[in-house]
C-alpha cells in the first residue's frame, strides 16, 4: 500500500465554490447628498433617511402608510379601481402596456393608496402617492380615489391626510386628468365647509397639477426636508424668465421662508407632528 495515497474519501464540499462567494451586489447604496456608502438594510431601518447626513430618500407608498398609521395596520380603500385608458393613448409604447407594467412591478392598480387607519389612536383617512407608478402622475383613478377619500372623511368627520409625491397630471389621459384638479378642489371645499381638518404632506417631488390642486390646499401644508416642490421645473422657469434662479429655489426650506408652506418636518417627527397639529385643531 502506497503511504502517499489518500485512502479515505475526500471531505465533501458542502457548497460549490461559485455559491460560496459573498453576495454583496445590491446590498449597498450611495447617498446622493453626502456620497456615503450605506448598507441598504440600515437605510430601510431608518425609513429611507441617510444615517450620515439625514438626506431623505423617496419612501414607497406602502411604507409611508406604515410610517404614519398605528401598528402599521390600515384598511385599504378602492384598491380595485384601475384606468380604462380613455384616449387609447400611445407614445413610445401604448399607455395600456405602461399601466400593465407598472401594476405588475408595484402590485397596485394606480399611483395612489387610500386607506383608513389610526394615527396615535385617532381615526384618520390617509392617502399616499407612489412615484414609481408612472411618476406618481394623476389620472382619472388617482383623482377618483382622492375624491372618494375626501367623501369618506366628510361622511365620517375624521381628518384627512394626503402625502403627495408626483410629477403632476398624467399626460396619457389628457384633459381627463386635468379635470381631476377641479373635481378634487371642489370636494376639498366641501370638507373645509364641514370644518374637517385636512393636512398636506409634500414630499420629493411634488410638481405640476398635483401642486396646483390638492397638495397645497391643506389647513396645514408641511413638507419633508429638501423636497422639490413647484409647478414647472426649475429649468423651464429659468429659460422662460431668463434669469438665474436663487439657490435652493423650489426646495421646501426656501418655500417655508417665502410663505408657501407652513413647516419642514423631518420624517422621523412627521407622525408626532401631525398628531399634535390635530390635537391643536381639537379633533
Ligand atoms: Zn447622506
The average pLDDT across 188-206 equals 97
* Residue-wise pLDDT tens digits, 63-72: 999 999 999 8
What is the grid cell recorded at 1?
A: 500500500
**pLDDT 10s digits, 93-115:** 999 999 999 999 999 999 999 99
Give helix 174-193 / helix 140-156 axis angle, nearest 10°: 10
CA of 31 to the centre of ligand 1 (A): 5
Can you give the pLDDT at residue 282? 82
40 CA to centre of ligand 1 in angstroms? 12
The C-alpha cell 421646501 sits at 252
Ligand 1 centroid – CA 43 distance (Å): 10
Cell output for 150: 375626501
Give 237's strand partners: none
Mean pLDDT of 123-140: 98
CA of 215 to the centre of ligand 1 (A): 27
Among 97, 110, 117, smallest CA distance to 160 is for 117
Amino acid at each position: 500500500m502506497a503511504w502517499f495515497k489518500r485512502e479515505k474519501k475526500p471531505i465533501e464540499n458542502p457548497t460549490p465554490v461559485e455559491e460560496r462567494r459573498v453576495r454583496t451586489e445590491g446590498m449597498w447604496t450611495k447617498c446622493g447628498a453626502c456620497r456615503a456608502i450605506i448598507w441598504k438594510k440600515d437605510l430601510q431601518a431608518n425609513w429611507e433617511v441617510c444615517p450620515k447626513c439625514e438626506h431623505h430618500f423617496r419612501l414607497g407608498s406602502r411604507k409611508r402608510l406604515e410610517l404614519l398609521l398605528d401598528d402599521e395596520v390600515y384598511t385599504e380603500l378602492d384598491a380595485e379601481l384601475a384606468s380604462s385608458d380613455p384616449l387609447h393613448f400611445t407614445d413610445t409604447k401604448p399607455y395600456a402596456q405602461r399601466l400593465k407594467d407598472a401594476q405588475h412591478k408595484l402590485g397596485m392598480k394606480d399611483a395612489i393608496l387610500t386607506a383608513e387607519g389610526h394615527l396615535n389612536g385617532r381615526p384618520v383617512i390617509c392617502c399616499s402617492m407612489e412615484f414609481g407608478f408612472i411618476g406618481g402622475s394623476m389620472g382619472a383613478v388617482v383623482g377618483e380615489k382622492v375624491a372618494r377619500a375626501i367623501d369618506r372623511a366628510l361622511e365620517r368627520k375624521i381628518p384627512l391626510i394626503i402625502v403627495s409625491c408626483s410629477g403632476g397630471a398624467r399626460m396619457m389621459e389628457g384633459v381627463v386628468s386635468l379635470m381631476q384638479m377641479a373635481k378634487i378642489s371642489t370636494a376639498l371645499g366641501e370638507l373645509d365647509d364641514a370644518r374637517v381638518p385636512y393636512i398636506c404632506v409634500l414630499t420629493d417631488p411634488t410638481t405640476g397639477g398635483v401642486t396646483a390642486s390638492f397638495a397645497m390646499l391643506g389647513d396645514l401644508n408641511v413638507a419633508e426636508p429638501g423636497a422639490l416642490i413647484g409647478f414647472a421645473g426649475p429649468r423651464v422657469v429659468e429659460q422662460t424668465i431668463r434669469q438665474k434662479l436663487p439657490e435652493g429655489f423650489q426646495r421646501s426650506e426656501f418655500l417655508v421662508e417665502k410663505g408657501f408652506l407652513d413647516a419642514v418636518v423631518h420624517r422621523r417627527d412627521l407622525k408626532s407632528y401631525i398628531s399634535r397639529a390635530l390635537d391643536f385643531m381639537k379633533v
